Amino acid sequence: MAKKVLKFGGTSVGSIDRIIRVSKLIQDETKKGNKLVVIVSAMSGKTDELLSLSKSISKDFSDRELDVLVTSGEQVTASLLAGALNKLGIKSRSLMSWQIPILTEGKHNNSRIINMSTDKINEYLNNGEIVIIPGFQGISKIGDLTSIGRGGSDATAVAVAKLLNTDSCEIYTDVDGVYSSDPNKIPVAKKIDKISYEEMLELSSLGAKVMQSSAVQTAMMYSIPLHVKSTFTNREGTKIFTEKNIDYSKVVTGVAYSKNDAKITLLGVQDKPGIAAEIFEPLGNARINVDMVIQNVSSDSKTTDLTFTVKREDLEESLNIIKNNKKVHVKELSHRTNLSKVSIVGAGMVTTPGVTYKMFRALADEKINILAISTSEIKISVILEEKDTLKAVKKLHNIFELD
Amino acid sequence: MAKKVLKFGGTSVGSIDRIIRVSKLIQDETKKGNKLVVIVSAMSGKTDELLSLSKSISKDFSDRELDVLVTSGEQVTASLLAGALNKLGIKSRSLMSWQIPILTEGKHNNSRIINMSTDKINEYLNNGEIVIIPGFQGISKIGDLTSIGRGGSDATAVAVAKLLNTDSCEIYTDVDGVYSSDPNKIPVAKKIDKISYEEMLELSSLGAKVMQSSAVQTAMMYSIPLHVKSTFTNREGTKIFTEKNIDYSKVVTGVAYSKNDAKITLLGVQDKPGIAAEIFEPLGNARINVDMVIQNVSSDSKTTDLTFTVKREDLEESLNIIKNNKKVHVKELSHRTNLSKVSIVGAGMVTTPGVTYKMFRALADEKINILAISTSEIKISVILEEKDTLKAVKKLHNIFELD
């Protein structure tokens, strides 16, 4: 008998038929004698529908009231699933975040779960009941409803697993698990059976959106084993552990890519301490997400050249901010759009020499021009022209034996 | 400066445009310096939509979870209206029933408000804020979400007005007020400016569904003046008071009717104490609503004849229950459908002789056959053939000087 958290995402509970399907899947788990806490998202499309209602009232809708509005979505799913389980004769009850309570801190629309009372949940579990909790929400210290950001039901699942000290945390979603690359574009991409938290984080920050990154980070911090699987198939899914539990037969675990990048280059920037902060602080204040940053000493060795990437929709604003930045003198400012980022990720890379060379050689063989390079211990990212993206991904997927 | 409860029904908040309209109406009230507590229903159609989701899971959906489900509807409206007011620069916040809290007792799906903490609401009101409360709901002693029956937002408004001791309770709806008859069918029907609680109760139980009856009863019990008006016009609406505040220039206040009635007659029932209970108890257990009941001594004076009316959809089941009732011996059982009930209502009737005669004379003049009669202090109802309904209503509306 195990104590488990099961989390079902928006598409898994996207219709009455699917909610009934989930109730049967839970029924199978109860037959194994497991104690279950179930976290649910809003039915797919629901959160967007509620957000759009708020936007038709005001683009700048009250943060507090937005949380009251959007948290109703998961409330609906939780009650429907509890009702579906009751219909199967399974004792079950929904518990809202204020009934538990689940305490959060931070700003409205972007709070963090900091604590949860476990007494009531454990009492119901010991009484043989299944507890259904709406994801993505909690209450603040002063008792206001709060939400914890898009995709926050993953964060709820991990937090509940940690605070209840459960044996596992299973994330049910509409894909089979984590793939070595995007299976829709790279048909030879394979499902990964086991992956480390770090690799998962690199892959998900690169666009493989199976789980919310901050939830993976929390799981990593507290060594909570995650298991991502599909609600719609019986395949085994992907287990996410600490690195030491994984036997790396392959150097590279996956190839990820993102499109819609733009590159900004500042040539001849005065080279003095704090200059990078001067450049990036106003961008951060404008909530522009700066991705890769590459800095070189320039040819005259008194100034420096600096290149970074942003999402294309942020390009114009970024350029304006730099032009209007009185504290930074730039000899020449250039930019380029229609770029993409391709990355290879693998925890085995740290201990394997020659991966970088092999990657660059492969891209050169395909006559693909590399515009910028950035590396970390378990990732190498390159910026390419957008038209070369899929060609590069396929080639790398092949030479690193992922096909 | 007054302290007021304003309640907005489902059609008044049925779209974003209408919610914005309501926010402007509230803005006008704040300009008068009034302290406002606003009760909102779910957007029109929302509660039915949620109920239909539950029914697609189970016809016998869990009572507890149904309350979690349906109460989300008013939560959405409350947050949207608070957001719309904030956009106009008006300080406002939604407070859910568990945040206040509003305490209820009784069964799920049919609870009653028994108490409410007023501290938090008064604090916000004194701070110049408008408090928005979702109608139709509360929490039970053990902290579960509860709902207080269809149309329950009226009951919330009256209970909040009573517990906060406000100066008035204004019910905003999609009609101008209470009419002397159905204005869609009787074009000469006039809006009533003032009406007593008792008359309002008789009219609303007869199908003039402007307000939920139990809310009117509560208002009557605590002498809370009600004011029904339209969200969509600037007309004065109808004020509902205790009888003594009303100057009765007319004997009859309104003419109401209901269609879809059926009549069941039991001839030659053994006349013994308790026989009526024996007949009606099983009908009550089957949740069949028995309306008019008329009993006469029959011609042989040893048995009695009994007639009562039910809704047409309940006719067949009612007949079966009577046939299968072993405790009751009936010489002859007959029934008739296609009937309607027409009633004249007026608090002035008690002190005015001849109203009954005048009514029957008028119907006879129109050659309308009366099939049954039932009277109370402020109401006379007759059962007619359905085809005569409108002719009767028009005639009575005319002769009692309501045109």
Secondary structure of residue B284 in the 3-state scheme? helix
Task: Specify if A192 maps to a domain.
Answer: no
Average pLDDT, whole number, for chain B?
90
Is B228 within a domain?
A: no
Provide CB contacts within 8 A for A401, sequence distance 6+. Answer: A250, A252
What's the whole-model pTM score? 0.83
Better-scored residue on pLDDT, A80 or A272: A80
Q: Using 50, 70 and 90 to split pLDDT, how confident is the model at A278?
A: confident
Q: Looking at chain B, which residue has its C-alpha nearest residue A62? A: B83
pLDDT band at B142 (very low <50, low <70, confident <90, very high): very high
Q: How far is CA B29 from CA A143, B1, B6, B224, in A?
A: 29, 10, 10, 20
- When mean pLDDT is compared over B77-86, B147-156, B210-219, B357-366, the highest value belongs to B77-86
Q: Are residues A262 and A136 in the same domain?
A: no
Residue B120 in contact with partner chain A when CB distance is under 8 A? no
Confidence (pLDDT) at A357: 85
The answer to whether residue A68 sits within a structural domain is yes
3-state secondary structure A68-89: HHHCHHHHHHHHHHHHHHHHCC
Instruction: Supply the pLDDT for residue B248.
Output: 64
Q: Tell me the pLDDT band of B183, cut-offs 50, 70 and 90.
A: confident
Return the closest-CA partner of residue A17 out of B53, B10, B121, B303.
Answer: B53
Chains A, B: CB pairs < 8 Å: 113
Highest mean pLDDT, choosing among A201-215, A331-345, A347-361, B67-81: B67-81
Is the pLDDT confidence value at B379 over 90? no
Residue A272 has pLDDT above 80, yes or no: no
**What angle, 0 to 180 degrees and rounded to 10, lies between the N-to-C axes of helices A72-87 and A16-31?**
60
- ipTM (interface pTM): 0.83
CATH for A50: 3.40.1160.10
- Determine the pLDDT at residue A294: 82
Structural domain including A368 reads 255-399
User: Best residue in A56, A57, A102 to probe B by mutation, most B CBs within 10 Å?
Assistant: A57
**Average confidence (pLDDT) over B99-118:** 94
Q: Determine the residue of chain A that is closest to B77 in CA distance.
A: A69
Percent of chain A with pLDDT over 70: 96
Total of domains in chain A = 2
Q: Kindly report, residue by residue over A239-266, the tens digit of the pLDDT.
A: 998 877 666 667 888 998 888 889 999 9
Mean pLDDT of B57-78: 97
Q: What is the pLDDT of residue B268?
A: 86
Residue B215 lies in a domain: no
Instruction: Using CB atoms, pick whichever of B16, B86, B96 lies closest to residue A56.
Output: B16
- The reply to whether B291 and B380 lie within a common domain is yes
| pLDDT at residue A322 in the model | 93
Q: Is residue A232 part of a domain?
A: no
Classify residue B232: in a domain, yes or no: no
pLDDT the model gives residue B329? 86
Give A71-118 pLDDT, tens digit per residue: 999 999 999 999 999 999 999 999 999 999 999 999 999 999 999 999
Contact (CB<8Å) B83/A57: yes
A364: which 2 tokens? Answer: 């050169």
Degrees, nearest 5: CA angle A181-A184-A187 = 70
DSSP A349-376: GGG-TTHHHHHHHHHHHTTPPP-EEEEE
Range in A36-40, A158-162, B139-143, B365-369 with the lowest mean pLDDT: B365-369
Lowest model confidence (mean pLDDT) among A351-355, B94-98, B130-134, B205-209: B205-209
Which of A174, A205, A228 is the last residue in one of the domains? A174
Q: Determine which of B24, B66, B79 to mutate to test the interface with A (most A C-beta atoms within 10 Å).
A: B79
Is A314 contained in some domain? yes
**What is residue A208's predicted lDDT score, i.e. its pLDDT?**
57
Does residue B296 lie in a domain region? yes
Mark yes or no for CB contact B94/A50 under 8 Å: no
pLDDT (0 to 100) of residue A355: 86
From CA B252, how far away is CA A109, in angstroms rounded?
A: 57
Residue A48's pLDDT band, with cuts at 50, 70 and 90, is very high
pLDDT greater at residue A88 or residue B358: A88
Is B54 within 8 Å of chain A by CB? yes
Residues A363 and A259 in one domain: yes
Average confidence score pLDDT of chain A: 90
φ, ψ dihedrals at A139, nearest 5°: -125, 155
